[in-house]
Amino acid sequence: MRRRLLGFLDERFGIPEAAFDGFLLLGSRRSWFLLQRSAVIAGAVRLKIEQAGLKAFQQVGAFVKPTTRLIQLFGHLATRARVVVEREALARLVAGEWIPVDLPAGQGYLILECAEGGILGLGFLKDGLLRTQLPKKELRVGMFDRGAMMRPDRASFIRFFSMPSTRRDNMLKDGEKGAILQRDKETYAIAPHMPCGVVTPETLRKLADAAEKFNCAALKVTSAARIAMVGIKEEDIDKVWAELGMAPGAAVGLCVRSVKVCPGTTFCKLAQQDSLAVGMKLDEIYHGMEFPSKTKMGVSGCNNQCAENCIKDVSLVGKKSGWTLMVGGCGTGKPRLADVLEEGLSTEDALKRIDKVLTYYRANANKGERIGKMVDRIGFDAFRSAVMG
Ligand code: SF4
């Protein structure tokens, strides 16, 4: 079939078969797709070809027709059956008219070339009259965009060829090896665990050295007070972790993701309580611990709440009288402000109460339900009497 389809392009348009040497041509149902050999050949047997390749031919009735995308991408190689269309003629074609052309190509498909540059797609010639074969959607929205003729963007198709639109089945799952796939669907980010955002100069040097050595695209300070290394190749992930000698931060999954902590009495002149010490304790106990949904914690040394307590699932605020425990905050698309559960707590009592809250949460929440959502479902009074006993 490859020879037949590519042979047609050669015979009709003069597009040489050699132009497709770097591509596989794979059939699926009534279509044939081009897939770049070098980029994805290793995983090709596990790919959905409809999503990973570019549709190049499709069966229409008894015939197989090249697609507009194929012609836009390879049409510039054609040496015959190619017609330049002026703006006025194009307007008539778009309107559905047949227009006369004087060509020796005989009956059949023609490549439509825009007079202002670029290959538009296919037309069909019959009895000296030409009509467009462009997809209706492109005729409507693309051809006269803001009064200018559409110029097919070859670069975007070339990018498409070198970058499959779906993840390969054998790519790392988010969180596997502490890595998260990035928008380019090729590289990963990792975010080493930095308890309460406290980091030494030595650790920063290690991060900087590894980032340079493995050509990271960026180092990004995250909202969880970590430093993410962005743009790491899959084959480098193990090497980067070995170089750093650090544990991954819990950046994905249904678990305690982070404990955000202000400097507290260790550094801040306004602080009433030692938020760093308590935050470190919470991090030690809960970081990465699984719960029905992701869970965020915060500890602030005074009522300025620099650790954003109002949008944390569980948080402590330092006051002269002790710790205030707040629960049920979250900062998603539908934010919920945290409720005050208890005030005037010692550090020991605060940790015990947090344990009760989280034990109750684990036993009573639905999967994916944040603490605030659970509290709203069962009622704050019911929740409070359950955890205050
Ligand atoms: S919350 Fe209070 S103690 Fe903590 S950093 Fe802000 S002002 Fe300082």
Q: Which domains does the chain have, with CATH numbers?
A: 2-162 (3.10.450.720), 176-244 (3.30.70.3340), 256-387 (3.30.413.10)
Q: Whole-angstrom Cα distance, residue 81 to residue 100?
A: 15
Q: Which residues have any ligand 1 atom within 6 Å of their CB?
A: 262-264, 268, 270-271, 275, 300-302, 304-306
Which atom of ligand 1 is the closest one to the Cα of 264? Answer: 3
**Residue type at position 165:** S
Amino acid 164: pLDDT: 43
Using alpha carbons, select from 363, 323, 314, 315 the residue that is nearest to residue 343: 323
Looking at residue 275, its pLDDT comes to: 97
Mean pLDDT of 239-253: 87
Contact 142, 113 (CB under 8 A): no
Tell me how far the alpha carbon of residue 377 is from its chain's centroid: 32
Confidence at residue 42, expressed as pLDDT on a 0 to 100 scale: 47
**pLDDT for res 327:** 98
Under DSSP, the state recorded for 53 is: S
User: What per-residue confidence (pLDDT) applies to 309?
Assistant: 97
Identify the three-state secondary structure at position 374.
helix
> pLDDT tens-digit profile of 102-121?
776 678 888 888 776 678 88
| Cα 226 to averaged position of ligand 1 atoms, centre (Å) | 19
What pLDDT does 33 receive? 85
Query: For 249-254, what is the mean pLDDT?
Result: 81
Q: Which atom of ligand 1 lies nearest, measured to the CA of 265?
A: 3
Rounded to an integer, what distance in angstroms lies between the CA atom of residue 38 and that of residue 224?
39
Q: What is the mean pLDDT of residues 132-144?
A: 60
Contacts of 340 (CB under 8 A, 6+ apart): 324, 325, 326
Ligand 1 atom at shortest distance from the alpha carbon of 263: 5
52-61, 128-137, 348-357 — which one is most confidently predicted on average? 348-357
Does residue 269 come out as left (phi exceeding 0), alpha (psi in the -120 to 50 range) or beta? alpha
322 touches 344 (CB < 8 A): yes
At 382 the pLDDT is 96
Which residue among 260, 302, 303, 323 has the greatest number of ligand 1 atoms within 8 angstroms of its CB, and so is best to mutate? 302
Which residues have a Cβ under 8 Å from the Cβ of 358 and sit 6 or more positions away? 286, 291, 295, 314
Please tell me the total number of residues recorded for the chain in this structure.
Answer: 389
Query: If you measure from the C-alpha of residue 315 to the centroid of ligand 1, how many angstroms do you get, rounded to a whole number?
Result: 14
- For the residues 273-284, what does the mean pLDDT come to? 96
Cα–Cα distance between 213 and 239 in angstroms, integer? 10
Q: Is the pLDDT of residue 138 over 60?
A: no
- The reported pLDDT for the residue numbered 151 is 44
| Candidate of 265, 304, 316 to mutate for ligand 1, largest count of ligand atoms within 8 Å of Cβ | 304
Measured in Å, residue 271 CA sits from the centre of ligand 1 at 5
pLDDT over 70 percentage in the chain: 85
Q: How many CA atoms lie within 13 A of 18 on its CB side?
A: 2
Query: Comparing 95 with 297, which gets the higher pLDDT?
Result: 297
| CA of 263 relative to ligand 1 center, distance in Å | 7
pLDDT of residue 137: 56
Q: Which residues of 326-363 are buried (b: 16+ CB within 10 A; e: fewer)?
A: bbbbbeeeeebebbebbeebebeebbebbeebbebbee
Q: Which is it for strands 54-60 and 31-36: parallel, antiparallel or unpaired?
A: antiparallel
Find the range with the poorest average confidence among 56-60, 116-120, 248-252, 297-301.
116-120
**Segment 346-382, tens digit of pLDDT:** 999 999 999 999 999 999 999 899 999 999 999 999 9
Task: Please state the pTM of the whole predicted model.
Answer: 0.59
CA of 291 to the centre of ligand 1 (A): 29
- Alpha-carbon gap, residue 81 to 12, rounded angstroms: 7
Pick from 74, 57, 55, 53: nearest CA to 65: 57
Give DSSP secondary structure letters for 61-82. Answer: TTEEEE-HHHHHHHGGG--SSE
* CB-count exposure of residue 119 (10 Å: 0-12, 13-18, 19+): buried
Which of 63-77, 121-135, 290-304 is most confident? 290-304
Compute the distance from residue 312 Cα to the ligand 1 centre, in Å.
16
pLDDT digits (tens, 9 = 90+) for 143-187: 444 333 444 444 444 444 444 444 555 678 778 888 888 888 789
- The closest residue, in CA terms, to atom 8 on ligand 1 is 268
CA of 202 to the centre of ligand 1 (A): 26
Nearest CA to ligand 1 atom 5: 262
Instruction: Enter the tokens of residue 333.
Output: 């698309």
> Where is 348: in which H helix or E strand?
helix 347-364
Residues 6+ apart with CB under 8 A from 211: 219, 229
Q: In sequence order, what are the residues at sequence separation of 6 or more whose Cβ sits closer than 8 angstroms to the Cβ of residue 298?
A: 259, 260, 261, 305, 307, 308, 309, 312, 314, 315, 316
Name the pLDDT band for 142 (thresholds 50, 70, 90): very low
